[in-house]
Amino acid sequence: MRVRAPGRVNLIGEHTDYNDGFVLPVAIDREIRLHAQPRADHRCLLYSETLDEQIEIDLTRLQESKGEPLSCTGWARYVAGVAVMLMRHTGRLLTGIEGVISSTLPTGSGLSSSAALEALFATLWNHLDQLQLDGWTLAQLCQQAEHEYAGVHCGIMDQAASLLAQRGSALFLDTRTLQTRHVPLPSDWLIVVADTGKPRALSGSEYNQRRAECQQAVEQLQAVLGQPIGALRDVSAEVASLYLPLLSEPSRRRARHVISENARVLAFLDALARADAHAVRHLMRASHASLRDDYEVSCAELDQMVAACLEAPGCVGVRLTGAGFGGACVALVERARLDPFLKEADAAYRAQSDYTPQFLVCESVEGASVMPQA
Ligand code: ADP
Ligand code: MG
């Protein structure tokens, strides 16, 4: 059997997911694939063409370990993590497999290849062992695998996008209620991931620091308001304009980013529904400025890439995407003007930066699936 799982890019709603806020990712046509056969026993023998590396996992031993993270390393952690979570949730021992993994999804460049790998194996075993788990349950088990087995305390966005997305749409996700909505994308716009070529630096420690600063902002707001608030998600624009000036820095600006970014996601949904290029451009530009000035997660290269794309023909909107400090921008581009857009954005960025950019032109695709027999 053959299974596929896509990567994702977030259109808007950055650094909102750990504040109970809104995000809007798109699953893209860069994906990981597995061609596998079931085995008669409970061993997994898997070869990744991407990494030229073979792994072996014994599901019986994993089950007996009662989910204690084993001494798995490298990509085996994601496969073992998903297997443990599925077995813990269903109480069943999964079928062994052997197979080969191939991929068109770059790893470690912010397109969430780790979530795609998790979604791939969750989809495989859900089908093979007829577990009958829905997409949300699979997404939460994959997130748990990433927490416990990869040690990355991510939100639910990446796994949800890789499992639940629909072709031609972005996935609006309320990270508090887990409510989702498929939001059609105008068919004459393409998604372009514009990688600055600058590796994401320092993002781990800065990421944890931003999370802590958001928590401090919540505590300070509670003190000035004299009442509890659950998260920055709960702060209205009116409350923000009255009370944020009373907060100390940098909490004030961090909170202002999160509160304004949530409002921008909701406005973006309206703009998409109207295919309002002017509003989309404005909202993405405001999102980038807020990430740069209030949240302070941009860098010279990301700013240069945004400027290069904005001036190129056919650019509807552009902003940094992902955690920041390097990595990529996401642009929406008029399909009919893709070629001049790529040519001019590439030239304008190279004229300013020592890094070599890379442009990935993407379509939005459906979430992970078992492929029909060839
Ligand atoms: P990102 O999720 O942003 O791509 P991560 O560091 O979270 O970056 O995950 C990358 C890891 O996922 C890789 O180091 C590898 O362990 C695993 N991985 C991704 N793609 C593959 C693949 N095709 N084959 C094997 N492992 C993969
Ligand atoms: Mg990852």
Give the three-class secondary structure for 222. Answer: helix
Between 199-208, 335-344, 363-372, the lowest mean confidence (pLDDT) is in: 199-208
Please tell me the predicted confidence (pLDDT) of residue 63.
87
CA distances from 99 to 31, 38, 103, 300 (A): 16, 9, 13, 43
Percent of the chain scored above 70 by pLDDT? 98
Q: Does residue 112 have its Cβ closer than 6 Å to ligand 1?
A: yes
- The packing angle between helices 113-128 and 76-90, to 10°, is 40
Please tell me the predicted confidence (pLDDT) of residue 273.
95
Name residues whose C-beta falls within 8 Å of residue 278's C-beta, 6 or more positions apart in sequence.
Answer: none
**Which residue's CA is minimally distant from atom 7 of ligand 1?**
114
113, 118, 153: which to mutate for ligand 1, most atoms within 8 A of CB? Answer: 113
Kindly state the tokens that stand for 332. Answer: 């929406």
Per the DSSP assignment, residues forming a β-bridge with 5 are 32
Q: Is the pLDDT of residue 201 over 80?
A: no
Per-residue confidence band for 203, with pLDDT thresholds at 50, 70 and 90: low
Between 38-42, 104-108, 254-258, the lowest mean confidence (pLDDT) is in: 104-108
Please tell me the predicted confidence (pLDDT) of residue 73.
86
Q: Name the residue type at position 28.
A: I
Catalytically active residues are 158
Give the closest residue to 117 by CA, choosing from 155, 77, 154. Answer: 77
149-200 pLDDT per residue, tens: 988 888 899 999 999 999 999 999 999 999 999 999 999 999 999 999 998 8
Q: Does residue 10 contact residue 165 with C-beta atoms inside 8 Å?
A: no
Q: Is the pLDDT of residue 275 over 80?
A: yes
Q: Is the pLDDT of residue 71 over 80?
A: no
Q: Does residue 215 have its Cβ closer than 6 Å to ligand 1?
A: no
Q: What is the DSSP string of 262-280?
A: HHHHHHHHHHHHTT-HHHH
In the reported structure, the alpha carbon of residue 216 is separated from the centroid of ligand 1 by a whole-number distance in angstroms of: 32
Measured from the CA of 77, which atom of ligand 1 is nearest? Answer: 16
Please tell me the predicted confidence (pLDDT) of residue 70.
65
Kindly state the tokens that stand for 57. Answer: 């996992």
Name residues whose C-beta falls within 8 Å of residue 298's C-beta, 6 or more positions apart in sequence.
Answer: 288, 291, 292, 320, 324, 325
What is the value of pTM for the model shown?
0.95
In the reported structure, the alpha carbon of residue 78 is separated from the centroid of ligand 1 by a whole-number distance in angstroms of: 9
Q: Does residue 321 have its Cβ closer than 6 Å to ligand 1?
A: no
Max Cα separation, the chain?
65
Measured from the CA of 110, which atom of ligand 1 is nearest? Answer: 3
Q: Is the pLDDT of residue 113 over 70?
A: yes
Q: Is the pLDDT of residue 297 over 90?
A: yes
Kindly state the tokens that stand for 85. Answer: 């979570």
Q: Does residue 342 have its Cβ closer than 6 Å to ligand 1?
A: no
CA distances from 29 to 20, 116, 291 (A): 28, 12, 27
Q: What is the DSSP string of 48-70?
A: ETTTTEEEEEEHHHHHHTTT---
**Which residue's CA is minimally distant from atom 19 of ligand 1?**
113
Cα–chain center distance at 354: 27
Cα–chain center distance at 345: 24
Measured from the CA of 152, which atom of ligand 1 is nearest? Answer: 7
Kindly state the tokens that stand for 165. Answer: 């997305």
DSSP one-letter code for 364: B
Between 149-163, 193-207, 234-248, 298-312, the lowest mean confidence (pLDDT) is in: 193-207
Average pLDDT of span 350-356? 97
Average pLDDT value over all residues in the chain: 95
308-338 pLDDT per residue, tens: 999 999 999 999 999 899 999 999 999 999 9
Q: Does residue 42 contact residue 93 with C-beta atoms inside 8 Å?
A: yes
3-class secondary structure for 112-143?
CHHHHHHHHHHHHHHHHCCCCCCHHHHHHHHH
In the reported structure, the alpha carbon of residue 334 is separated from the centroid of ligand 1 by a whole-number distance in angstroms of: 31
Cα 167 to Cα 190: distance, rounded to the nearest angstrom: 13
Q: Is the pLDDT of residue 69 over 90?
A: no
